[in-house]
Structure 1
Amino acid sequence: MARLWFRYAAMNAGKTSSLLQVAHNYEENGEQVLLLTSALDDRDGQGVISSRIGLKRDAETYSTRTDFSERLKDVDVACVLIEEAQFLTVEQVRQLHRWVHTKNIPVMCFGLRSDFKGESFPGAAALLTLADNLEEIRTACRCGKKATMNIRIDENGNRVQEGQQVFIGGNSSYRQVCARCFYK
């Protein structure tokens, strides 16, 4: 039976490289996958899934206007892999959950659980509620403890505590931290 997966982590945990490894494993067995990433993330170009360790793949993009009931209606793949899943809407997560259980094709979503203020993204909250499998991808804080939170930093490395929830950036804009360091 197919399942909706949510593999979540703080920044810099290897979510993207994990997604690309899953795609490689399916394809190595002769199966097709559909790769989707948020249209918001254009750091390496529109429709590119790119990891910090240099792995890259082209992907289709989705936005808040994407209707997955329509988009996936006639898809013939072994698995759907979704990057930046925190940017999904609650309704899109419901559509994916319904699709998995009516089409019997797994969907694996990879993304952040919370933002730099410690608040949930709507898509992540819906995935934490509806996903059939939850898997935390672990990473470490600079202090050595398990990182579960994210902080936003400015160009001088100072913590930013105000601003829009969505600000696309990588290592120069965010850092993973444990809860203790988050509240320091």
Structure 2
Amino acid sequence: RMNDLISSVRIKGLVEMDGRDVNARGMDEVALRRRVGMVFQKPNPFPKSIHENVAYAPRMHDMVSRKADQDELVERALRDAGLWNEVKDKLYEPGTSLSGGQQQRLCIARAIAVRPDVILMDEPTSALDPISTATIEDLMDKLKQDFTIVTVTHNMQQAARVADYTAFFHLGEMIEYNATKQMFANPHTKKAEDYITGRYG
């Protein structure tokens, strides 16, 4: 629901959450955004302090009001994102002062601060170096114990490493969906097999 005000956007197909069409007219977008966290391809921290990056959304959703509660929530989110020990002494410095990998973990902390039901990650490591990528992948492995994570990636090795289930899309159509190990070992469609084996893509 990020393109609602763009008149040229066309939406086809159906995306449901708990049996409700997320694009339905009666859907409360604010409530939906509270339940679905978003992590983008390029780290995009707010031009605010590290603390405020994490505290902002919970405060806007009336999850916390007292300063002590905000501080506790910020620490928990930063710990869950594996960033607390690196930033605990500079919480009021700009989020943009962090390295690329740290900024992406800050964006993950920002997303999980409101305890969403689902986290959407759009190529979350494509702008990062291999060490930062490994850190984010380890983090995703821990977070999936508490959150449903949907990740878009064109990196076959990454999909094999981090995903429990894989859906293969081609030109907007879902070609195949299966347990990741099954899909990579024995894909059921020729198109998926050709992509996985590198014949195209």
Return the TM-score normalized by structure 2: 0.37
Higher helix share: 2
Higher strand share: 1
